[in-house]
Structure 1
Amino acid sequence: MLGWGEEEWEGVDTGGEAMGPWLKERPSLPKPLTFLQEEEFRPMASKGTKAPAIGIDLGTTYSCVAVWQDNHNRVEIIPNDQGNRITPSCVTFTEEGRLLGDAAKNKTDMNPTNSVFAIKRLIGRRYSDSSVQNDMKLWPFKVVAGPKDRPKIVVNYRGIEKQFYAEEISSMVLVKMKEVAETYLGCIVKNAVITVPAYFNDSQRQATKNAGTIAGLNVMRIMDEPTAAAIAYGFDKITKDSKKKRVLIFDLGGGTFDVSLLSVLHGKFVVQATTGDTHLGGEDFDDLLVDHCVKEFKKKYNKDITGNAKSLRRLRTACERAKRILSSSVMTSIDVDYLYEGVDFSTRISRARFEELNKELFTRCTHLIEKCLGDAKMDKTGVDVVVLVGGSIRIPKIQQLVQDFFDGKKPCKEIHPDEAVAHGAAIQAANLIGQRDKEVQKLVLVDVTPLSLGVDTVDEGMSVVVPRNTPIPTKLKRGFETNIDNQTSVRIAVYEGESAEIKYNNLLGEFEIDGIDPAPKGVTKLDVWFDIDADGILTVSAKVKSSGQKKEIVISKQNGELTAAEIQKMIEDAAHYKAEDEKHKARISLEYLAEKLKSMALDSARSASEMKSMEDKAENAIAWLETNHLAEIGEINKQLKELKTSFPALCEEN
């Protein structure tokens, strides 16, 4: 530990990097690949062009992916195979295989214990965290304590119990977004910028980066969501406005809330302050509405459904639907047939009642706006533009509270709340790989540290070296001294957080300097440096002034929780699961074609011999599937090829 020494601060100029534009119109939907087309799909970048880099908004409830298109000089939001521009952040495990995105969400009501969602609330956290313990009471899937207090999700996959870290589940969502982009672009995608809430701590950021690695992505940057949204808002204005604008981003999503204040001038985006809550969003509004309905059901029928995962999941789906309806209507109903023990449930809910249930959470949002402005030492009258981002800003009361807070100033609604973050991330990704557009190259981003960083002292307090909202990259130094006589070693423990007591903050890492010459306390002086680069990677070093002894720690490598071997194992597992998915799709394709062939064989316009041949081929294919459950994908594709060769007209139709 260190004693309080003479305070000594040094800093270096902050820097940044360029960024750039945003969507003017929606692109036409791509033609989804069928399995048969995928056989000939050979992804590769177009000759003479850079391999594309994508921006991914990895959300609590929905995710979105976008790309900067040089040939159109704009960002395009990429629709998934269902034509939707946002994809549920959900993974469902079944007896047959694994479902991702829309297919997974559609199965949550029927298979709640094996459907994993809201994983963003678990990533980078400890099992013993109070927020994790509270969420576990609401999730239908099971969470257990793993090694080093890391939570693991327990599911039944193909009849076998499996346990996954949060990073693995997040990587599955990222795999889906990667595949969505590759299908649209027609080439392999490796480089990506992934966004996180501004108030994510170091553990959560590193865990998100690990998830990207497991998904087969080169994560070029972990970017704050409000900063990405500000770029989406401000890019097309940078060549038009010669006056500095102060933009406040109010980002309320499915599970997290951020407020950031940025100044924008001539393509330079400078984050002045950021604050937030990593456990405040649409999921919490749903929780309170579900709790209200559970109590009403118990009051009406004297039945408690809290122990029935399927009933709770069906009720939650109805409550989510009601919440969305109340954004455009003042009254709606929540109806669930046979909710529990054959009893139907129906109740009316008004917008006013919904707002009353969530009054405390809504008010917390405005308190965080005050905190952000206070950190920036700015009055609300100094804010030029308020931008609302995130699906939960559609709630009328939220919009009203923000407008009232700014004395009637109407928030900007020029950018799509669900797509803005991915939009800005795509611009950042384009800049990092050096795409050609001049406006992209001109942009500069100066971000800040969301949490204070410091070291522990002898009184178990935290001595702050880097105050929160310090622009990055930066390098700051503070002087310390030994606190006991004849001290020969010093332990440097690095923390992040806002509490004066270290027990309430997050330990990032620690190291020790040995071999210090014995001396009375206070005689030996040390310099502790905190060096943060543009990626937010923190290097802490300490040097003994008298002897020159030095030691350092790179926090990002220490705090990822997962070892290199664990990450490599998860990468291999991810490849295995993808191969299983492909095999499952191939079996479905073969079964579908065989059934189609049987149906066509009934056409009386065909000759008897042709009908017999078609029926025999179909029956043989179905029988083969039934007796070859463990067949590899190559064997399945061989059966598909035989059908294609025998009946090319059938395959052309599919």
Structure 2
Amino acid sequence: MVSYLVKEFKKKNKVDISGNPKALRRLRTACERAKRTLSFVTEAIIDIDAIYEGIDFYLLVTRAKFEQLNMDLFEKCLETVKSCFSDAKMDKRSIDDVLLVGGSSRIPKVQQLLQEFFEGKDLYSSINSDEAVAYGAAVQAALLSEGVNYKNVPNLVLQDVTPLSLGMEIKGDVMDVVIPRNTSIPVKKTIEYITIEDDQSAVTIKVYEGERMIASENNLLGSFDMAVRRAPRGLPIQVCFTIDADGILYVSSEEESSGNKKDITITNEKGRLSRKEIKRMIQEAEDFKSDDMKHMKKVRAVNALDDYLYDMKKVMKDKCVASKLSFVDILKISSAMIKGKELIDGKEKNDTFVFVDCLREIKSTFQSAFNKF
């Protein structure tokens, strides 16, 4: 609305006040007053004496014009409402009452859009929009306080949620989500992972928050190394994520056979994101979803090739099996395995289909050799 009035002032007086902070401040104050007026009547007058170089500014603004100027903002508000239902996995028909909070909820167009969204449901108006948050804060304060007469306090439990997904990096720079976004806290979840190399002596736990499928594109909260018993790959590791009622994150890992344990504590003040950054990360996850899916597809192809090579390596170590193969077949299989290993370890950035085709060729080589006996 301020931008519109700046343009109108320039059109009438051939003067641009967009670079004058004092004039803009007075214009913004007048717009705020007009916004409140238009919530109750259909017309409002902008009347500012000597706004710039002694020039007065007078303009009649209708509610229809106000709604036209701000329609993108109104629709953005509605997108937030839709997002809340999507995140909570709720149907709007399950809502008992729609409570309006904040002075801007008095704007008729906002109320109209909400009623249409809730299919004609009446909006709850018995609580003052400016006081609704204060009422809620008072109830929560009473619930947290000792010595309060609880007969007058509603039996409510206020639960916070995680603003972003929490997880750890796994093979292929993949973000494996342990606690999804909007999970109610306190919460505790344990997931079993496995080592990815033979005779691995330690594992690195990297804890991230964010919505990207690529771990390194998220916000790194912390990391630690834990010693593990040397064993063939596939040794189970238990990783536990715990968030307490104060939002403090505890991440621990344990290798049960050796009893080795390690943990890390991440507070809200340590490396956490601001609301603006959280909003940006959620939007980036949507914007780069296609790229992330391509990355995931490639990781799955690489891992499938690596797993098959590992299994075949174990088969070839079996003397009973190897003795049944001809020298030529052994050479073909060894050559195919070396080719696959070099492809995985190579620094060249190959497309997904290269790994898929390589796996198909190696499988064909193995199957043709083993079909002979």
For normalisation by structure 2, the TM-score amounts to 0.64
Work out whether 1:498 is the aligned partner of 2:208. no
Distance change >3 Å, CA 460–CA 438, structure 1 → 2: same
Q: Deviations over 1:465-514 (max 9, x none)?
A: 1123323222111222344565544443333333334466444x202114
- 2:146 is aligned to 434
Distance (whole Å) between structure 2 residues aligned to residue 456 and residue 527 of structure 1: 14
Tell me how large the CA RMSD over aligned residues is: 2.7
Amino acid at match of 2:181: R
Work out whether 1:548 is the aligned partner of 2:269. no
1:511–1:552 contact (8 Å) kept in structure 2: no
For residues 324-403 of structure 1, what are the structure 2 equivalents within 5 Å? 324-403=36-115
Q: Deviations over 1:39-79 (max 9, x none)?
A: xxxxxxxxxxxxxxxxxxxxxxxxxxxxxxxxxxxxxxxxx
Distance change >3 Å, CA 442–CA 311, structure 1 → 2: closer
Distance (whole Å) between structure 1 residues aligned to residue 245 and residue 21 of structure 2: 44
- Classify the secondary structure of the residue corresponding to 1:445: coil
Work out whether 1:423 is the aligned partner of 2:135. yes
Amino acid at match of 1:427: V
- 1:533 is aligned to 244
Q: Deviations over 1:224-250 (max 9, x none)?
A: xxxxxxxxxxxxxxxxxxxxxxxxxxx
- 1:480 is aligned to 193
User: Gaps (5+ residues) in structure 1?
Assistant: 1-288, 562-654
Alignment length, in residue pairs?
271
Q: Deviations over 1:69-121 (max 9, x none)?
A: xxxxxxxxxxxxxxxxxxxxxxxxxxxxxxxxxxxxxxxxxxxxxxxxxxxxx
Give the CA deviation at 1:324: 1.0
Give the CA deviation at 1:556: 1.6
Tell me which of 443, 449, 463 is aligned to 2:176.
Answer: 463
Give the CA deviation at 1:347: 2.4
Distance (whole Å) between structure 2 residues aligned to residue 436 and residue 525 of structure 1: 50
- Classify the secondary structure of the residue corresponding to 2:267: helix
For residues 315-326 of structure 1, what are the structure 2 equivalents within 5 Å? 315-326=27-38
Amino acid at match of 2:189: L
Give the CA deviation at 1:448: 4.3
Amino acid at match of 1:533: D
Amino acid at match of 1:396: P
Distance change >3 Å, CA 300–CA 382, structure 1 → 2: same
For residues 233-272 of structure 1, what are the structure 2 equivalents within 5 Å? none
- Classify the secondary structure of the residue corresponding to 2:168: strand
Tell me which of 310, 313, 336 is aligned to 2:22.
Answer: 310
Distance change >3 Å, CA 317–CA 403, structure 1 → 2: same
Amino acid at match of 1:554: T
2:224–2:263 contact (8 Å) kept in structure 1: no
- 1:297 is aligned to 9
Give the CA deviation at 1:399: 0.7
Q: Deviations over 1:359-393 (max 9, x none)?
A: 12211222333333334443322222111111210
Distance change >3 Å, CA 353–CA 557, structure 1 → 2: closer
Distance change >3 Å, CA 413–CA 499, structure 1 → 2: farther
- Classify the secondary structure of the residue corresponding to 1:347: strand
Tell me which of 191, 210, 234 is aligned to 1:523.
Answer: 234
- Classify the secondary structure of the residue corresponding to 2:4: helix
1:387–1:412 contact (8 Å) kept in structure 2: yes
Amino acid at match of 1:469: N
Select the structure with the greater relative contact order (CA < 8 A; seq sep ≥ 6): 1
- 1:454 is aligned to 167
- Name the larger-Rg structure: 2
Amino acid at match of 1:550: K
Amino acid at match of 1:335: D
Amino acid at match of 2:241: F
1:491–1:510 contact (8 Å) kept in structure 2: no
- Classify the secondary structure of the residue corresponding to 1:389: coil
- State percent identity of aligned pairs: 48
- 1:513 is aligned to 225
- 1:414 is aligned to 126
Distance (whole Å) between structure 1 residues aligned to residue 68 and residue 218 of structure 2: 33
Q: Which has the larger share of helix?
A: 2
Distance (whole Å) between structure 2 residues aligned to residue 490 and residue 500 of structure 1: 21
Distance (whole Å) between structure 2 residues aligned to residue 368 and residue 432 of structure 1: 30
Give the CA deviation at 1:410: 0.5
Distance (whole Å) between structure 2 residues aligned to residue 506 and residue 354 of structure 1: 40
